[in-house]
Structure 1
Amino acid sequence: MGFIGLCGIFIVMLCLLILSFSWWIFPIQKHKKLKRNGFGGPTPSFPLGNIKEMGKKNISIQSLVASTNLTHDIHSNVFPYFSTWQKSHGKVFVYWLGTEPFLYIAEAEFLKKMSTEVMAKRWGKPSVFRNDRDPMFGSGLVMVEGNDWVRHRRIVAPAFNPLNLKVMANMMVESTNEMIDRWSSQINFGNHEIDVEREIITIAGEIIAKTSFGVEDENAREVFHKLRALQMTLFNTNRYVGVPFGKYFNVKKNLEAKKLGKEIDKLLMSIVEARKNSPKKNSQKDLLGLLLQENNEVGKSIKTFTTREIVDECKTFFFGGHETTALAITWTLLLLATHEDWQNQLREEIKEVVGNNELDITMLAGLKKMKLVMNEVLRLYPPAPNVQRQAREDIQVDNLKVPNGTNMWIDVVAMHHDPELWGKDVNEFKPERFIDDVNGGCNHKMGYLPFGFGGRMCVGRNLTFMEYKIVLTLLLSKFSFKVSPSYIHSPSIMLSLRPIHGLPLLVQPLN
């Protein structure tokens, strides 16, 4: 055997050794360390971990999809594997995505003790998710860490002050009225069934295009459609996040996602550069204009955004901003369609607060009952169904030690539907539970997390509150809603919690 042949054998042996360590030996060592630290969980089978169990079809999901019987007890359907594992391992345990361990948390007290030990900037994001979702978020505020997170938040936060929100409110009213005109025209032709989810997602995309970039042309629609296509590509296929070489298991999907990501970046880059070169760049009060303005005003001690970072922030805002709000409105319309008493109560409140006047942002604070409804909808159907973190230091919780680098999956749906936190009526739609109690009667302040928790709580939540109230006020002033017989109740996870078969409602104009 020649020298070349021996070299070939050596390289093969070396590759096998590296694979053995990365696929089995290192993960097994991590597993043993976590067990020594007091954490149990389902037994992994490397290199897939627990992905095979998570991918199994669940009978209850199939029965839910096939039925029009509407239930709000959704945790065992949207997260069947977590629901099953909870029965065996409790509300805090370790499961594995490939060779990556995740600490599952659905216990409010554990989360409180852990979060009080960690400053916001010292929370990380799981690297497997950062890599997986890079085409969608890049290095925007959702994904950055440490001092970069502090810098990003310092520059982004002023965009959501009350004065800027007032300017954005006018854009929201305009876009919603255009949608109402379309619906009225459709109804006049005798078609009363409208897929509200599709319509609301579209109008929220148009609103976010205006409030993000100040654009209403084909460029805005193209960004919106490409981002939606990217979401479907990333989250509507079998996924091997955390599995070594997992991206090669579905090469077509990953290439398509990468291509869409580059196309979105190119389009947004051209919009940013055009604004930078525009003589009106400082007069437009959309997010892009505000970011460019803030970028010029930050002190010398703070590094300003690069064009690449501005693109990533706009992309993050575009996706997170329209998706969260649109789904909150969508689930609200479903719940109001099935609880006409609350639909009528909100309509009466709108008459009292707004009357026949044009809707003004100053009126929104008077919509108290609408705020109760929104809180309850965000509890039953949280658009952000989970929160992910990664420890950047060892965290001691009682006699348990969370090692530095541990990924965490905080199950918001589980806590929002936990009868130990909310009582026996946990799966009932009862907005009145939030009267005089911002936590809705939950017996733990960390049991209600519609916008995350701590310093990394959603920076755009006030924009969501405003858009929610504006769109819902205008719709309830014009139409009444009932559930269509064709509706299939099918809450599903696709990064967000959404009705996978849409939301067809019967829409009737008010006399």
Structure 2
Amino acid sequence: MFGTLLYIFSRLLFSFWIYPIRAHLKLKRNGFGGPSPNFPLGNLKEMRKISQEASSVSGSSKISHDIHSTVFPYFATWKQSHGKVFIYWLGTEPFLYIADPEFLKAMSSGVLGKSWGKPRVFKHDREPMFGNGLVMVEGEDWVRHRHVITPAFSPSNLKAMASLMLESTNTMLDRWADLINSGNHEIDVEREITGTAGEIIARTSFGIGYENGRKVFEKLREVQVTLFRSNRYVGVPFSKMMCPKKTMEAKRLGKEIDDLLMSIITARKKDDSKGAGNKGRDLLGLLLEGNGREGKTLTTRELVDECKTFFFGGHETTALAISWTLLLLAQHPEWQNQLREEIRQVTKDKELDVAMLAGLKKMGWVMNEVLRLYPPAPNVQRQAREDIEVKEVIRIPKGTNMWIDVVSMHHDPELWGKDVNVFKPERFRDDALYGGCEHKMGFLPFGFGGRMCIGRNLTSMEYKLVLSSILTRFSFSLSPAYSHSPTILLSLRPTLGLPLLVNALS
């Protein structure tokens, strides 16, 4: 009995204090500063205190695009004291904070995509939501997953999805027209577009109807809220035991999503074996068709995890990009007019076709500027799977977690100029990819390197199709009920919704 207690005590001692203190000293010797941690909580207590102080003034009728201190108040505070690269701690897990594109470039130079991993603390925490899908898997497994998935995102396959996207969008817009005709001009566009994007990804990815798609969508949102809208102790040893109710709720929801997707995949495989399937018509069909090609195979369990990843990532990023776009266009009606004129010139009053999307240059500028000001993916996380030398001066030890602050770099006046917080799509006119940013690593709407988002072309296509459809039928302006409340719930979203006043064009 005494030996058991001694073992437990020694394990707690090492997990809570000795190991993290050793790691802290090693990182300090390698030249990294940062806020002082207090183990076993690290900097969590300070982060919560700073966040609570910031939240007391959040939600405002005044719209400012200078959002870094709102969505990441603790990083904004620490940057003033420790610069753009420093170490902070989630419990006993050290994170290298990076908001310096030159450091990021030097750090990632020559590192292969398979050599990066995801912080294990996040992999364990977010398992109910993503499992071992592409955003979480690593090493040779990442290479295998990427090999099977990439062909599904070919231009020809994406083009085949366009008609379904337009069909779902027109259903939403017909509903808006009915609301307006009944005298209701105020519409929460974020809620509407998120729902439609969920329907689009359900149909284009899995060939499933509205009802099953809605079930997956609602359960994923419940998991998202359970994991990210609660005071938990991510990074603290045995943290799941400290929040058992939240842990069990996330696990239950994750299991329900798995069962639903498993039944969809099993039914599709059964149909395919009878020659009655839909292979090639949607992403799931393409995955099943490509599975096993050149010896690269995904198990059914891995297919479920990829489906969860597609479903969440495939609708969330696009829906939020369009929602933030409508907010900015509501503030700038002159850009609504410019985009409508561009659509007319490109389509020549004919029905919009995928082949026409490349001609929507100004819409591309607007999309990039929105992704700069309000990046749906506000950060990128990595974990080194080998020691990394930075300019032969600094060594990042194997296993180090990294947090790349995309919001900070996208709002850095040293990179973008004094007008950094101004909506200015024309900054992308002459340098379409980087918008005149002083550093190519300063604009990361879809991540960077070998692990860049595989669905970025799908997002761009859906964005242009949906936004073009909205602009040709409606104009919109800010509602007095709108309260500016950008916040992080894994993604960057308007917490209090996005009500706009919508009017049909004559």
Do they superpose with TM above 0.5? yes
C-alpha separation in 2, matches of 1:356 and 1:347: 11
Contact 2:279 2:288 in 1 (8 A): no
In the alignment, is residue 188 of structure 1 matched against residue 184 of structure 2? no
Per-residue CA deviations over 1:203-247 (Å, capped at 9, x if unaligned) read 000000001110114222111111111111111111211001111
1:71-470 map, 5 Å: 71-278=64-271, 279-296=275-292, 298-300=293-295, 302=296, 304-398=297-391, 399-437=393-431, 438-470=433-465
Q: What amino acid is the match of 1:448?
A: F
1:55-70 map, 5 Å: 55-56=48-49, 57-65=51-59, 67-70=60-63
C-alpha separation in 2, matches of 1:283 and 1:34: 51
Per-residue CA deviations over 1:427-456 (Å, capped at 9, x if unaligned) read 000000001202011000000000000110
C-alpha separation in 2, matches of 1:445 and 1:215: 40
C-alpha separation in 2, matches of 1:294 and 1:9: 57
Find the partner of 2:487 among 492, 496, 499: 492
C-alpha separation in 2, matches of 1:163 and 1:307: 26
Normalising by structure 1, we get a TM-score of 0.97
Q: What is the number of equivalent residue pairs in this alignment?
A: 500
C-alpha separation in 2, matches of 1:284 and 1:10: 61
C-alpha separation in 2, matches of 1:491 and 1:338: 16
Q: What amino acid is the match of 1:403?
A: P
In the alignment, is residue 503 of structure 1 matched against residue 498 of structure 2? yes
Find the partner of 1:473 among 468, 472, 478: 468
Give how far 1:282 is off: 4.9
Q: What amino acid is the match of 2:306?
A: E
Other structure's SS at 1:389 match: strand
Other structure's SS at 1:497 match: strand
C-alpha separation in 2, matches of 1:452 and 1:137: 18
Match of 2:478 in 1: 483
In the alignment, is residue 27 of structure 1 matched against residue 23 of structure 2? no
C-alpha separation in 2, matches of 1:359 and 1:62: 46
Other structure's SS at 2:291 match: helix
Give how far 1:249 is off: 1.9
Q: What amino acid is the match of 2:339?
A: L
Q: What amino acid is the match of 2:359?
A: G
C-alpha separation in 2, matches of 1:17 and 1:365: 62
Contact 2:114 2:139 in 1 (8 A): yes
Other structure's SS at 1:488 match: coil
Per-residue CA deviations over 1:325-358 (Å, capped at 9, x if unaligned) read 0000000000000011111100111111123211
Q: What amino acid is the match of 1:299?
A: E
Q: What amino acid is the match of 1:421?
A: L
Unmatched segments (≥5 aa) in structure 2: none
Other structure's SS at 1:232 match: helix
Give how far 1:284 is off: 4.6
Other structure's SS at 1:356 match: coil
C-alpha separation in 2, matches of 1:346 and 1:217: 31
C-alpha separation in 1, matches of 2:343 and 2:237: 55
Other structure's SS at 1:489 match: coil
C-alpha separation in 1, matches of 2:226 and 2:476: 32
Other structure's SS at 1:446 match: helix
Q: What amino acid is the match of 1:426?
A: V
C-alpha separation in 1, matches of 2:279 and 2:141: 28
* Aligned residues: CA RMSD: 1.0
Give how far 1:60 is off: 4.1
Unmatched segments (≥5 aa) in structure 1: 1-7
Match of 2:6 in 1: 13
C-alpha separation in 2, matches of 1:391 and 1:470: 38
Bigger shift: 255-264 or 52-61?
Answer: 52-61
Per-residue CA deviations over 1:395-437 (Å, capped at 9, x if unaligned) read 1113111000000000000000001111100000000000120
C-alpha separation in 2, matches of 1:378 and 1:157: 23
Q: What amino acid is the match of 2:260?
A: L
Q: What amino acid is the match of 2:76?
A: S
Match of 1:3 in 2: none
Contact 1:282 1:293 in 2 (8 A): no
